[in-house]
Amino acid sequence: MTPALEVSGLRKSYGAVAALSGVSFRVGEGTIVGLLGPNGAGKTTTVSIICSLLPADGGEVLVDGAPLAGDTDRAKGRLGLVPQELALYDELTADDNLRFFGALQGLEGARLSSRIDDVLRLAGLADRRRDRVRTFSGGMKRRLNLAAGLLHDPKVLLLDEPTAGVDPQSRNAIFESLEALRAAGKAILYTTHYMEEAERLCDRVVIVDHGRVVANGTAEELGRLLPAASGPELDAEARAAVALLSARGIAVPGVDGGKPRLEEVFLHLTGHALRDDR
């Protein structure tokens, strides 16, 4: 079966800087694929090329098996982009923002209104519809940013670090929305430099570094790339306890709740840590 999104051999240089040197992966319907890598790995560049914001130097992007043909290709409507930046008009209300972004996608009238209802409900912002975005918290803006990318009910979602700088509560809300969307059959590409997020949310993880894919698989598969099991062996009860804690957002140092630890996988594969601030 053709995947909803297929990226193969993407290359891109900004002058002398090689941002992507052959990036390939697929995202199928009803799955969340994590694109995990440190700052500067090429995540945003990849997403921009997929949406044809940027021309690639080489490689191919297929949406439902076909490349996008130009600015006005209707197939662009199958992609929903949630930019890394908060792409909202602070001076306008949530409703006005969504009206404009919906109109850009060709929505109008009753259909637009009902879609606005839907995405605001999904983002938990239905009661703030008439408020100016300026009055929103960082987490609320992030949720509205996400909602704006969903208006035209795209089949493929491209989320570029959608949780940057949000409080844990909003992050959980976003995760729940994404899980609902996955259940609804969306193909979701989720870029992040937080390995905990990739671990918790994604069905598969594509690890990128310096514009190259260094690993691609389920969390389990990636764990097997480690030379030997790290951390203490846990019995079933201990694993259940750790899993319970981790589900509440509490990490137990030295153990991983039964899952392989992507941080170590990353360190092992690239020789450096995922994030500088650790």
Partner 1 sequence: MKQALAIVRHELKLFLSDPRSVVVGIVTPILLATFFGFLFSGQGRHEAAKIPVLVADADGSAVSSAVVAGLAADPLLAVTQATEAAAREAVRKGKAVAAVVLPVGFGEGSVRAFFGASKAPEIVLLVDPSRATEAGLVRGLLSEKVFRESSREAFGGSSGTTVLQESLRNLEADPAPATPERETLEQLLRDVTRWKESTTGGQGGAATQTRGPGSAAPFTLKEEPVTARRGVTYNSYAHSFAGMGIQFLLFVALDFGIAFLLERQGGIWKRLRAAPLSRSSLLAGKATAGALVGLISVGATFAFGIVVLGVRIQGSIPGFLLILVSSALMASSFGLLLAALGKTPGATRGLSILAILLLVMLGGGWVPAFVFPEWLRTATLVLPTRWAIDGLDAVTWRGAGLVAGALPAAAVLFGYAALFLLVARLRFRWTDG
Quick count: other Cβ atoms within 10 Å of Cβ 273? 12
Nearer to partner 1, 79 or 188 (CB): 79
**According to the binding rule CB under 5 A, does residue 45 interact with Mg ion?**
no
Answer with the entry of partner 1, ligand ADP, Mg ion, none that 3 interacts with (C-beta below 5 to 8 A by kind): none
How many residues bind to partner 1 according to rule CB under 8 A?
30
- 48 belongs to the binding site for partner 1 (CB under 8 A): yes
List contacts with ligand ADP (CB under 6 A). Answer: 14, 17, 19, 37, 39-45
Q: By CB under 8 A, is residue 81 in contact with partner 1?
A: yes
- 79 is an interface residue for partner 1 by CB under 8 A: yes
Residue owning tokens 């990128």: 208
Q: Which of residues 131-160 bind partner 1 (CB under 8 A)?
A: 145, 148-149
Integer CA distances (angstroms), 113 to 99, 102, 103, in order:
8, 9, 11
Contacting residues for 22 by C-beta, under 8 A, at least 6 apart? 9, 10, 11, 59, 211, 212, 213
When the beta carbons of 14 and 236 are compared against ligand ADP, the nearer one is 14
Task: Give least dist CB 48 to partner 1, A.
Answer: 7
The CA distance from 148 to 87, in Å, is 9
User: Between residues 138 and 231, which has the closer beta carbon with respect to partner 1?
Assistant: 138
Q: Considering the complex, state which of residue 105 and residue 270 has its C-beta at the smaller distance from partner 1.
A: 105
Q: What spatial distance separates the first Cα and last Cα of the chain, rounded to whole Å?
A: 41
Q: Which is nearer to partner 1, 103 or 244 (CB)?
A: 103
Q: Which stretch binds partner 1 (CB under 8 A): 75-83, 167-175, 240-248, 258-266?
A: 75-83
Is residue 52 at the binding interface for partner 1, with CB under 8 A as the rule?
yes
- Does 58 interact with partner 1 (rule: CB under 8 A)? no
Compute CA distances 276 → 118, 223, 240, 273, whole Å.
Answer: 39, 22, 31, 7
* 51 binding partner 1? (CB under 8 A): yes
Q: Which of 31, 44, 48, 177: binder of Mg ion (CB under 5 A)?
A: 44
Return d(Cα 243, Cα 245) in angstroms, integer: 5
Site membership for partner 1, residue 69 (CB under 8 A) = no
Which of 246, 139, 254 has its CA nearest to residue 196? 246
* Residues 92-111 as x/- pattern, contact with partner 1 by CB under 8 A: ---------x--xxx-----
Inter-helix orientation angle 109-122/138-150, to 10° = 140
Query: Residue 123: which residues within 8 A CB-CB, separation 6 or more?
Result: 143, 144, 146, 147, 173, 177
In the complex, which residues of this chain contact Mg ion (CB under 5 A)?
A: 43-44, 84
